[in-house]
Structure 1
Amino acid sequence: MAVEPLTRTQIEDRLSGLPGWSLDDDHLTRTYRLDSHFAAASLVVHVARIQDELDHHSELTLGYNTVSLAVHTHSAGGSVTDRDVELARRVEAVAPAHGAR
């Protein structure tokens, strides 16, 4: 099934339910701050599992106490699609359990 790029209006509408996420250079992006490096690494592992479940992967960066994501859909010409929004929603759902803010 082909995925269709979202319009800017559609992206903005979907982002209204994803606090901290933004559109940045045709990527949905978010940086989480955590209390420790171990907590950040734990979140990375959890995000990696979600990405494998969805078969949709972001640019995922681990810092000392930060985790950053940037995602778009390569098969849609590098545009943002509902696949990206679903990944963001799933990550947003698990991040608080790791102490992410």
Structure 2
Amino acid sequence: MPAEPLSAHDVEAALRELPDWRLEGDRITRTYRLPSHFAAAGLTVHVAQIQEELDHHSELTLGYNTVALAVNTHDAGGAVTRKDVALAERVEAVAPGHGAR
């Protein structure tokens, strides 16, 4: 069963609880800055593990000392769903442990 798209109001409410996440087009996005490339790589691996656990994957980009995520739900027509918010919440929980800001 496909995930249901969130209403614009529900997306806005979710983003109020997710510091620095933004709605860009039909995706929610965030870029983390980290103290080093090694720390950024560590966060990338941690995010990949979370995505596997949730069976929900973002566009995940590793830079020199940055990690960027962009996510929406393909089986909901590319809309933002609760699955995207849950992924963002999990990443927010682990990112500080890698030194992300």
Interval containing the TM-score (normalised by the shorter chain): over 0.9
Tell me what 1:85 maps to.
85
Instruction: Tell me which amino acid in the other structure corresponds to 1:99.
Output: G
TM-score, length basis structure 2: 0.98
CA distance in 2, matches of 1:73, 1:29: 13
Instruction: Tell me which amino acid in the other structure corresponds to 1:12.
Output: E
Cα offset, 1:2, TM superposition: 2.7
Q: What is the correspondence of 1:26-37 to structure 2 with a 5 Å cutoff?
A: 26-37=26-37
Verify: 1:96 aligned to 2:96, yes or no. Answer: yes
Instruction: Tell me which amino acid in the other structure corresponds to 1:39.
Output: A
CA distance in 2, matches of 1:53, 1:59: 16
Instruction: List runs of 5+ in structure 1 lacking aligned partners.
Output: none
Tell me what 1:44 maps to.
44
Instruction: Tell me which amino acid in the other structure corresponds to 1:22.
Output: R
Instruction: Tell me which amino acid in the other structure corresponds to 1:46.
Output: H
Tell me what 1:54 maps to.
54
Tell me what 1:70 maps to.
70
Cα offset, 1:7, TM superposition: 1.1
Deviations 1:25-59 (A, max 9, x none): 11010000000000000000000000000000000
Local SS of the residue matching 1:32: strand
TM-score, length basis structure 1: 0.98
Instruction: List runs of 5+ in structure 2 lacking aligned partners.
Output: none
